[in-house]
Amino acid sequence: MKSEKFDVIIVGAGVSGLYMLYRLRELGISARVIEMASDVGGTWYWNRYPGARCDTNTLEYSYSFDEELQQEWEWPERYPSQPEILAYLKHVADRFDLRPDISFNTRVDAATFDEASSHWRVSTDDGAELAARFLIMATGCLSEPNLPPIGGMDSFRGPIYHTARFPHEGVDFRGKRVGVIGTGSSGVQAIPVIAEQAAQLTVFQRSPQWSIPAQNRPADPELVAEIKADYAGFRARNRLQPGAQMSHMLPNDISAKAVAEEERQRIFEERWQEGGFAFYGSFNDITVDLESNAMAAEFVRAKIRQIVKDPAVAEALIPEYTIHCKRPVMDSGYFETYNRSNVLLVDINAAPIEAITPAGLRTREADYDFDIIVLATGFDAMTGALLKIDIRGRGGLTLREKWADGPVNYLGLQVPGFPNLFTITGPGSPSVLTNMMVAIEQHVEWVADCISYLEEHGQASIEATEEAQEAWVAHVNEVADQTLWTACHNWYQGDNIPGKPRVFMPLPGFPPYVEKCDAVVANGYEGFVLS
Ligand code: FAD
Ligand code: NAP
């Protein structure tokens, strides 16, 4: 592989990298994918913790680019489990014969733009150097694990597993004393399953969660047939939703304040029973109006008090921040788990963790003995995987320097000073605020069309302008400021990583974003310089 040259190098073989490769191949453009894992799948390769599952409906969390694929693939449940999604992505890789163009077990460590040849030089951990005109970062928004800065990790006598680096062979929790740190989506999914197996489970909670029951169930054959009868129409309607998904139940277009109390409770209850994201569509202003938001929060608060038998535990599980301010969490029996006699909740705000010890973990108030510790502590989201790579653009400017105060770019796709480098679902695009399958397909198609356009028009490079970047960053901030997402501690703003600049990274609203991307192309790649 030494000093090989390609038209395009793609980093990452998850949902994004696989489709990017497929799309470029269709256009007759040669591409090489570099993937540090031993197989395809990205998120679904790495996150093998018990209970790992998507919370987007299966019929929506799948590729739409191939009619036969979407007609033939059968999902057994309403929400796909990690093994099912991984099997699906492996099938896609095989079906379209993608593997020959992927280098597995290879990590990209550095990428430098060579101005003289207008090529990206990419170095990998096996000492190889590759060159390509275009470099596409399909490195994932949630792929760089967050290892909490807790002292003593190396001293622990048992194993410590991060949910995003779980052993492939699984972990046998039977008869074990287990400590779980973190109660985000991963923790909330893993905790009920671990509790069923372990002798004793202790959960260390920094922030309680507004979790909604997923209400997972076997796939409904009638619904599947109905959607598959007009899959294209279903996908098109999805793309018109702010989050590019419908959850099989469209949001109600009415304010929570516009209906009487009894009717409001009826609607909340109906949506709670439907489960998942449908709950947040109970009314059209839960995510933007504090009063309506408080009504939804009060409904969930009452549910938690109803489910959790010990009133003190119930109170400790109820968040104080606005509902939907963190990334929404969906569960299968999460709050019920705290009724089990083998489960203990520890509020680490009241008793902060001091250290991992050889025997387990010490908080300010007590010592706990464990056989296994699970870190469900999330990710250095959106920028973590990108900044881990030493990326150098024009004049040797590093991406780390350029983003020292937080990520800046144009359309979430390109950074001025870094010609021919694209980020799939980069910060500044809807990405993690959407059904990511849809966001990924839209980005991949935009980038592939752009490269194809450059080829057809004899252009060697494309680079976003500083002016376009400035206007775009201002736009993202303006849209974010109209939401309630900036009102709490969340990873959308990097709050989970000590020292990370506090910038709201994704852009709310998928349909207007797509319109903007299309308009940029229609106006001759407005905001970019082609040369
Ligand atoms: P990834 O799947 O993260 O793939 C990136 C790939 O790049 C990885 O394989 C990684 O190994 C590789 N890579 C990174 N850096 C390097 C490097 N330097 N060198 C070589 N390779 C590198 N989204 C939804 O829309 N709905 C959901 O319900 C949902 N559930 C999720 C559940 C979990 C547990 C997690 C973690 C995420 C979930 N997501 C969900 C988001 C999910 O990440 C996306 O849906 C999607 O899988 C992202 O695909 P990707 O290819 O862009 O990135
Ligand atoms: P997360 O949401 O960031 O949750 C991490 C948890 O660990 C939080 O409770 C956090 O507390 C806690 N934590 C972090 N650092 C800590 C420290 N130093 N000490 C103690 N506690 C600490 O991460 P995640 O659960 O892995 O989920 C990340 C994202 O992946 C989700 O938001 C979602 O987008 C995706 N995901 C989706 C699903 C799904 O159901 N489809 C499942 C898993 C993941 P704070 O909240 O106080 O920071």
Cα(183) to centroid(ligand 2), Å: 6
In SS3 terms, 163-225 reads as: HHHCCCCCCCCCCCEEEEECCCHHHHHHHHHHHHHCCEEEEEECCCCCEEECCCCECCHHHHH
Cα(121) to centroid(ligand 2), Å: 35
Q: Which two tokens stand for residue 114?
A: 């060579």
Backbone φ and ψ of 464, nearest 5° = -70, 145
- Residue 246 has a pLDDT of 75
Ligand nearest to the CA of 347: 2
- Residue 282 has a pLDDT of 96
- Residue 247 has a pLDDT of 66
Q: Cα Rg for the chain, rounded, in angstroms?
A: 23
Among 53, 183, 186, 191, residue to substitute to test ligand 2 (most atoms within 8 Å of Cβ): 186
pLDDT < 70 regions, the chain: 1-3, 247-248
Q: Which of left, alpha, beta for 406 (phi over 0: left; psi -120 to 50: alpha)?
A: left
What is Dmax (Cα atoms) for the chain?
70
Ligand nearest to the CA of 216: 2
Ligand nearest to the CA of 331: 2
Q: SS3 of 122, please?
A: strand
Minimal-distance CA residue to ligand 1 atom 45? 436
- Residue 1 has a pLDDT of 44
